[in-house]
Each structure stands twice: as structure tokens, then as C-alpha cells.
Amino acid sequence: ETGVTQSPTHLIKTRGQQVTLRCSSQSGHNTVSWYQQALGQGPQFIFQYYREEENGRGNFPPRFSGLQFPNYSSELNVNALELDDSALYLCASSLGSGASYNEQFFGPGTRLTVL
Amino acid sequence: AQSVTQLGSHVSVSEGALVLLRCNYSSSVPPYLFWYVQYPNQGLQLLLKYTSAATLVKGINGFEAEFKKSETSFHLTKPSAHMSDAAEYFCAVVEAGGTSYGKLTFGQGTILTVHP
């Protein structure tokens, strides 16, 4: 069974650029959640995708957008990068969604640095 | 709205000593509670979870936590610290039911240092 994988592991961008981060779900999982972890902070929920539809969003501006593909892999896109976007971006996959909680399995993260 | 407070951003113990990491939560509905561990440059690994069954929850690597509704707490303990326990620990909450979307709300984290 393959776990959650993310690419790239590290990324350096400059302010104003756009970035795409990728996540492959654990086998059999149909839900992907994205979290931002700034240095010294706990992860913060960005949004969740369930069967290719956005299924909840945290307090992040619209320049953070996502996509989930038919194979349940996912992308996180961030436009007009700001210095404060520098963080570790974590992807977590799970099976199912909605009212009942299903355990989320985390990937190793992508470290984004914005200069 | 749900929130988590971890008391103490840094905890230092000697090898073999008791580990106690504190977590208090706020939730408008019955919560599910979790402890995760994060090693440097890695993602999050689930240590244990409370999902409204037994209030004393046992996890991996000898850790356990007790859900105390009256105190809104979910403190993490381990009787005897090992050097390999040095890491950052996060307490998290999700609202069981409603429109939670499976959104985990994390505390700020506690860095555990273990001295020989």
C-alpha cells in the first residue's frame, strides 16, 4: 500500500509568482485535505476536496485554489505569492467525507520559500 | 467554533522521566481529539485518537491520553521518556458531526526535548 506522496519536496519562488504543489493520495482514498504550516505554528486547514469537488474551506484568500483529479490526486495552486506564504504545505488523504470523521494520513509536505 | 490550546511550547525531560504534554480544547459539539507527532522535515504521524469510546486512549510508542470532558482536556503522557521521543507534538480537534468537513484544528505544538 502506497502512502501519501507530495512533490516537489522543496520549492523557492519570488513574490508575485504562481506555484503548483502536487499530492498523490493513499491507495483507495477519495478525499484530500490541504494544510499550511508556517514556521513554529500548527498546521492550518486550507481546504478539502471530496470526489473532485471542494468540500470545505478554511480562512484563506481565493488566490489559494485547488483541484482534485479522477484518480483522487490533487493540486494546490497559489497565485500572486506573498512572503507570508512561505511555509510547509501538507496534504492528507482519507476515505469518505461529510459528517463522520475519517482518519487523515499525511504526506511529508512541500517546503515553499517565497523571496 | 473549535480551538486547541497547548500549554508550553517547549517541554524538557530526562530520559526515563514522565512525559506530560498538555492540551485543552474548545468545541461547541462533542469533539474527536488527536495527538500527532512531527519529526524534523517530516509530515505528521498519528499517535492516538479519541472518538467517544473509552476516555483513556492508548497509542503507539507507549503514549496514552485521557479525555476529561469536565476539564476540556486531553493531555498526552508517557511513563518513561526515550531519546527517540524528541520531536514536536500537536494536539488537534475535529467536530464530530455537523458540517465539519473533516477539518482538523491544531494547537501551536509542543517541542519535546529529551536529555540523556
pLDDT in tens, B48-101: 999 877 889 999 999 999 999 999 999 999 999 999 999 999 999 987 655 556
Is the confidence at residue A29, as pLDDT, over 70?
yes
Check if B46 contacts A (Cβ < 8 Å). Answer: yes
Mean pLDDT, chain A, rounded, equals 92
A56 contacts B102? CB cut-off 8 A = yes
Is the confidence at residue A5, as pLDDT, over 70?
yes
Q: What is the pLDDT of residues A38-79, one digit of tens each?
A: 998 999 999 999 888 988 889 999 999 999 999 889 999 999
Is the confidence at residue A100, as pLDDT, over 70?
no
For residues B21-50, give the mean pLDDT: 90
Check if B107 contacts A (Cβ < 8 Å). Answer: yes
Work out the minimum CA distance from A66 to partner chain B, whole angstroms: 16
Is the confidence at residue B30, as pLDDT, over 80?
no
- Burial annotation B50-76 (CB, 10 A radius, 16+ → b, else e): bbeeeeebebeeebbbebeeeeebbbb
Q: Which residue of B has its CA nearest to A9?
A: B41
